[in-house]
Amino acid sequence: MASRIGKNISVSIFGQSHSAGIGCVVEGIPAGKKIDLDELQAFLSRRAPGGMPWSTPRKEADLPEFLGGLVNGVTCGAPLAALIRNTNTKSSDYDELRRVPRPGHADYVANMKFHGAQDVSGGGHFSGRLTAPLCIAGGIAIQLLRDEGVEVGAHIARIAGIADDAFALHGLSSTDVHVAHAKTFPVLNDAQGERMIAAIAEAREAGDSVGGVVECAATGMPVGVGEPMFDGVENAVARMLFGIPAVKGVEFGRGFDVADMRGSENNDGMRIVDGRVVFESNNAGGANGGITTGEPVVVRCAFKPTPSISRAQHSIDMQAGTNEGLSVHGRHDPCVVVRAVPVVEAAVALALYDLLLESRMD
């Protein structure tokens, strides 16, 4: 099993949900880059579990220990290694899953692939817990991008069919992408956020869960970053986003809406204003032919409902070869979307910073 991604900035994720710790190794960060560790901790705290009615009651501080790569908060050119120790595990909740896999989880396929040797507790290496070290790497990438004039931010776009206001595809500012960051429930429209919170509570009360969509944007990306065909902006960002557990769909700009539009509606017209090229719209979401246009890169990703639910479901006994019923116990988010907002920011930032470094080698 290899959990590694990236070309110029490569990230390896290690650990399991209930192992002694989880972490990452990041290679390729240029030396001499100052990392604000307080800002990074604040970023990790946005993802950390516990304390809110829409998240798992499992509480983890998510305090990273840097084992290498930083000297007095400055990158030294060596691989950056960071560890988060797991401190609040209840592995007994998962004993039954060695026989009876959870529908919607990787339990069955992991058992078939690893022949029973996989770590079942908490979902093992398939757990959303592994997004914490991804946020270490991505939180650093966010700071490095800011040094380049690029700002990355996200918000909840939809939960249980209830929509937040959307980012403006065209004319989005660096301030706009951070509007939701300081909020406990990261939406642009607080009234819609209250409706989403009620829908999550209703699902939890029913022993069920809900899914949703996160929208992320990056402003300040220069024109000309990315490659045609297989190494384009959309390719790189989508591949990183699909590494987040529960992501089932990704779209850029107007996304699937373009299928119902005419070319005259979808095409982003261009004009010369004060000697520079200006786009009249941004339906493309910041990229054409896999290469950045200079407009904001705007992407949305869909998250499935949390598969671990207490309602009775159909499953099987893998040892006895019989049909079984299953009601999942343990501590789980009734909706992963809320805590996924900084994870999406981390993934997008890593992909864009990797591409930015690549563009300087052309």
Count CB atoms within 10 A of the CB of residue 161. 11
Q: Which two tokens stand for residue 108?
A: 């069955």
Alpha-carbon gap, residue 209 to 150, rounded angstroms: 35
Q: Smallest Cα–Cα separation from 83: which of 163, 25, 131?
A: 25
How far from 137 is each of 50, 79, 153, CA to CA, in Å?
Answer: 22, 12, 16
Alpha-carbon gap, residue 47 to 61, rounded angstroms: 10
How far from 362 is each of 22, 241, 352, 356, CA to CA, in Å?
Answer: 35, 25, 16, 11
Q: In the chain, how long is the greatest CA-to-CA distance? A: 74
Stated as kind and residue range, the H or E segment containing 114 is: helix 107-114
Known binding residues are 47, 125-127, 289, 304-308, 331
Known binding residues for NADP(+) are 47
Known binding residues for FMN are 125-127, 289, 304-308, 331
Alpha-carbon gap, residue 95 to 330, rounded angstroms: 11
Residue 301 · residue 213 · CB < 8 Å? yes
Q: How many residues belong to the chain?
A: 362
SS3 content of the chain, % helix, strand, coil (to 5): 30, 25, 45
| Strand 10-15, strand 21-27: pairing | antiparallel
